[in-house]
Amino acid sequence: MNFDAAHLGEWIKHVGPIAGHLVIWSIVFAESGLFVGFLLPGDSLLFTAGFLASAHILSLPVLALGCFVSAVLGDSIGYWTGNRFGRKLFQKEDSWLFHKKHIVSAQGFYDKHGRKAIVLARFVPIVRTFAPIVAGIAAMNYRTFFSFNVVGGLMWTFGLTSLGYSLGALIPDVDRYLLPIVLIIIVVSLLPSIFHIYQEHKSNRP
């Protein structure tokens, strides 16, 4: 499935809004709670879905609330995975779906930012998939984790869907500019990861 507005909108018109909402919620859940999730386009998908809501193809309240619940549940599954299987994850061989370096990178992010990493990680691709796993491995108090999980999930899902909706509603013919806007969102969302990799490379230089 292509995640630009034209293709996603046509697909949702074909399958219906109920199926469209369910698929988007499933993707948000997978990116938050499953290893394969780091491959998924969470930021651009949320923005594009919000844009489609401004065209009345989706319902913004239903979309945002469902994405929020899916994101919180996904992170909770990630926490449980880390808490239950943490040591085994570091012993697991790398595959095309799993690389220990992602866990290590998320661990560094967690060590640097502490508990607020659960909120900040929502806006950092790859790290947002593995940060709750690391929190589980570190045996972070679950009530504390859940509180930060809710705040981060709320900011991420409602923020990006509302941004897409607002631009779609305020800017005439915004669909003409949607591709560059989505590309900008992708680039901006990747900047923290690029900076983190640069910092790691710089610290490892002799």
Q: Which pLDDT does position 1 carry in this prediction?
A: 41
Which ranges of the chain have pLDDT less than 50? 1-2, 95-97
Q: How far apart are CA 106 and CA 100, in angstroms?
A: 10
pLDDT tens, residue by residue, 135-169: 888 788 899 999 999 999 999 999 999 988 998 88
Average pLDDT taken over every residue of the chain: 77
Q: How far apart are CA 34 and CA 72, in angstroms?
A: 13
Q: Which pLDDT does position 8 carry in this prediction?
A: 73
Q: Which pLDDT does position 5 carry in this prediction?
A: 52
Concatenate the DSSP letters of all residues of 20-85 into one string: HHHHHHHHHHHHHHSGGGGGS-HHHHHHHHHHHHHTTSS-HHHHHHHHHHHHHHHHHHHHHHHHHH
Q: Which pLDDT does position 170 carry in this prediction?
A: 83
